[in-house]
Amino acid sequence: MAPLPLQRDTVQRPGTSRAGCVPGRRPASRTSLPGIPLAPSAARRFVRAALAEWTGLGVPAAVGFSDRLADDAVTVTNELVTNAVVHAGTTVDLVITLEEGGEEPSAALVLEVTDHHPARPVSGDDPAPEPEPAGAAAGELPDPAEYGRGLQLVATLADSWGITYRTGRKTVWARLPVDDWSAPPAQPEADALRRGLRAAELLAPVARRTERDDTVWDGRGAPAFLAEASDLLAGQLDEDLVAAIAGQLLVPRLADWCAIRLEAESGKSAAEPRPVQVRHRDESGAEALRAALETAPFTLPAATGSGPVPVPVPWSATRAEGAGGAPRPGCPDGAALAFRITAGGRTLGTVIVGREGDAPVPEAVSSLIEDFVRRLGLAVGAARAYTRQATISRILQRGLLPSKVADIPGVTSALVYEPSDDGVVGGDFYDIFPCPGDRWCFVLGDVQGSGPEAAVVTGLARPWLRLLSREGFGVGEVLDRLNRLLLDDAMEAAEAAALMVAAAGGQQLHDGTQPRFLSLLYGEVVPLPGGGVRCTVASAGHPLPLLLRPDGSVRPAAEPQVLLGVVEEVAYESQVFDLAPGDTLLCVTDGVTERRSGPLMFDDGDGLARALAGCAGLPADATAERLRRAVHEFAEQPPDDDVALLVLHAD
């Protein structure tokens, strides 16, 4: 996230102290986010990462960064990006700038969120500002019906803010002052601890007899609750877990009990039972509430909007039971409100919240719950989208990789394959298959990138390799022909996949369509009459295979050559060697060699060769497991790239 020179469209507001941005003079970070439910959580992470980077770089004003400033910046960003996603649905541009100026130490964070679908018509190229929100008289806030609660939160937390309209885009900016430069910087561990304590406080149980104080939601309590709740919900990728966490957030802080029912996705059987998530401040009342709702399932009319709808209270939800299960006299029913869970214009379920007693639910609390349910809908929608993507990915992965690898006579093989993300098709692939003439071929490849474009290249390369190998071409000739095919059909198919992803609203990971390069290690094995096998291998831009002898010596078994799909006129060469009984051949992808721990990589100083040397005398499966464990133990964080390694041990 390097500082970028920034050109900003601004409108100076009366009564504000906002300075213009001089390109290249102020630390700034910029990102673009797709208009999808995951955008707000990505924006929150981006803002925290920018603040952490400026602190690490020693930017002078960063000494004034406090936990409260970070929370306010994250809250404002969350609200503005959420509003842009919900109301505009376009790509969202986010810019965070650290403004420093004046003779005395003073600084401010300026957050700008731009969408590309203005809410009102704009003609001409001149800016058409909104009615003044930032410099308005005290107490004058925008009408929620027109601006939404998100901008009220911005007005509460920012010392100035405003809106700029230009043809084709709308930018909302907010300025947050950086206080007390002289204060020592907060320790990251302390910040993380405080954030963890706040999350724990939100989810912690509260004693039943504790009196609820609704006045806390009139000030900073509501924005803080919504921001922290968004973080907790957005971090979950299972919709049932999202609903369970939502119940913990609602009860008992906002309600005495709640019930959350998620509808089955379209295309699934309507008869498929969906569990109702129930939470009651008195644990003994939860089962009674669940039984009542299962007896009489709750639904809302199709025309119901996102606002609260008064509904009857299930008698078992709020009444204490007397002898024989009858309601105890004098126990009031209380009040119940229902909210529709929506995302992207689709209904995902219903939330019912209830309170005991005669007092109605305050309007401020009802509005807060409505905002919370909107975030719940975004989280459920994101979880469902992830589940669909992960399911498709698993189906694709099963089709792109062999269901089983062939057994090579005289050779024991072991394979480790760990995609870095279960929800995305990996770029690594492998294969071992027999060919005519008593030959066996093995492949370990890595397509640049991941996702649908990489899957297209993988889906073409593996069957092409089998076809070319079985036609009797030599190892070098196979790579020559595969290279020409990649420069033609695979690139066209990958471009088509990229266009389909863009048309479906998917995130573009780069500007335009780029070629998909392929690194490949391809080899041929022929059993020898006296034992062992003869190997012929070629490496095209791939980590070189390593040959381990029984005495512990290790050497590369191939020569480096150019990637496939890069140069049209290239002639690939192969190397031939014998794998004697006791010898081991190791093939890996760059997820192993480039595994990072800070600035270091696993293969620095021939680290992979040293690790392999320690496996002398081990069988194939033990060698593969020891190397896999070494790769994982090299750093505290899990691998961020696909990990694949193939071990061939001559018996």
641: confidence class by pLDDT, cuts 50, 70, 90: confident
Q: What is the mean pLDDT of residues 547-573?
A: 92
Least confident of 236-250, 290-304, 440-454, 572-586: 290-304
Q: Are 152 and 141 in contact (CB under 8 A)?
A: yes
pLDDT digits (tens, 9 = 90+) for 273-284: 567 888 888 877
Q: To the nearest 10°, the Cα dihedral for 598, 600, 602, 606?
A: -170
Q: Show the 3-state SS of 437-474.
A: CCEEEEEEEEECCCCHHHHHHHHHHHHHHHHHHHCCCC
The phi, psi pair for 643, rounded to 5°, reads: -115, 120
Question: Is pLDDT of 427 > 70?
Answer: yes
Query: Residues 6 or more apart from 88 whose CB is under 8 A from it?
Result: 35, 115, 116, 117, 119, 170
**Residue ranges with strand state E in 5-61:** 28-33
- Between CA 435 and CA 498 the distance in angstroms is 34
Q: What percent of the chain has pLDDT over 90?
A: 32
Burial 520-548 (b: 16+ CB within 10 A, else e): bbbbbbebeeeebbebbbbbbbbbbbbbb
Confidence at residue 283, expressed as pLDDT on a 0 to 100 scale: 75
Confidence at residue 609, expressed as pLDDT on a 0 to 100 scale: 95
Least confident of 162-171, 486-495, 603-612: 486-495
- Between CA 359 and CA 362 the distance in angstroms is 8
Which has more pLDDT, 388 or 555?
Answer: 555
7: confidence class by pLDDT, cuts 50, 70, 90: very low
Confidence at residue 492, expressed as pLDDT on a 0 to 100 scale: 61
Confidence at residue 281, expressed as pLDDT on a 0 to 100 scale: 85
Cα-to-chain-centroid distance, residue 69: 24
Which has more pLDDT, 423 or 410?
Answer: 410
Burial 47-67 (b: 16+ CB within 10 A, else e): bbebbbbbbeeebebbbbbbe
Question: Which residues are bridge partners to 650 per DSSP?
Answer: 411
Two tokens, residue 551: 């005495």
The top-scoring range by mean pLDDT among 37-41, 569-573, 628-632, 636-640 is 628-632
Confidence at residue 565, expressed as pLDDT on a 0 to 100 scale: 86
Confidence at residue 202, expressed as pLDDT on a 0 to 100 scale: 56
CATH of domain 28-178: 3.30.565.10
401: confidence class by pLDDT, cuts 50, 70, 90: confident
Q: Show the 3-state SS of 351-381.
A: EEEEECCCCCCCHHHHHHHHHHHHHHHHHHH
126: confidence class by pLDDT, cuts 50, 70, 90: very low
Helices (H), 204-282: 221-234, 239-250
224: confidence class by pLDDT, cuts 50, 70, 90: confident
Which has more pLDDT, 192 or 296?
Answer: 296
The top-scoring range by mean pLDDT among 52-61, 416-425, 497-506 is 52-61
Q: What is the mean pLDDT of residues 427-436?
A: 90
- Supply the DSSP symbol for 564: B
The top-scoring range by mean pLDDT among 10-14, 510-514, 527-531 is 527-531
CATH of domain 227-391: 3.30.450.40
- Between CA 3 and CA 295 the distance in angstroms is 59
Confidence at residue 110, expressed as pLDDT on a 0 to 100 scale: 92
Question: Is pLDDT of 131 > 80?
Answer: no
Q: What is the mean pLDDT of residues 348-361?
A: 86
Q: Are 568 and 619 in contact (CB under 8 A)?
A: no
Is it true that the peptide bond before 129 is cis, omega within 30 degrees of 0? Answer: no
Least confident of 67-71, 417-421, 453-457: 453-457
- In whole numbers, what is the pLDDT of the chain averaged over residues? 77
Domain boundaries, the chain: 28-178, 227-391, 403-650
Tell me, yes or no, if the pTM score tops 0.75: no
Confidence at residue 196, expressed as pLDDT on a 0 to 100 scale: 53
Least confident of 193-202, 393-402, 537-546: 193-202
- Between CA 445 and CA 519 the distance in angstroms is 6
Q: What is the mean pLDDT of residues 431-451?
A: 88
Which has more pLDDT, 16 or 332?
Answer: 332
Burial class of residue 168 in the structure, from the number of CB atoms within 10 Å of its CB (0-12 exposed, 13-18 middle, 19+ buried): exposed
Confidence at residue 602, expressed as pLDDT on a 0 to 100 scale: 94
Which has more pLDDT, 28 or 400?
Answer: 28
Could you say which architecture CATH assigns to the domain 403-650? 4-Layer Sandwich (3.60)
Q: What percent of the chain has pLDDT over 70?
A: 74
The phi, psi pair for 279, rounded to 5°, reads: -140, 135
Residue 334 in 3-state DSSP? coil
Residue 196 in 3-state DSSP? helix
Q: What is the mean pLDDT of residues 134-157?
A: 52
Least confident of 207-221, 320-334, 488-502, 572-586: 320-334
User: Of 393, 331, 406, 339, nearest to 366 (Cα)?
Assistant: 339
Two tokens, residue 203: 């989810």
Question: Is pLDDT of 513 > 80?
Answer: no
Query: Residues 6 or more apart from 288 whose CB is under 8 A from it?
Result: 316, 317, 321
Question: Is pLDDT of 478 > 80?
Answer: yes
Q: Are 429 and 398 in contact (CB under 8 A)?
A: no
Q: What is the mean pLDDT of residues 273-298?
A: 78
Residue 166 in 3-state DSSP? strand
The top-scoring range by mean pLDDT among 33-42, 195-204, 226-235, 543-552 is 543-552
Question: Is pLDDT of 185 > 50?
Answer: no
Cα distances from 91 to residues 82, 86, 216, 514, in angstroms, run 12, 11, 35, 21
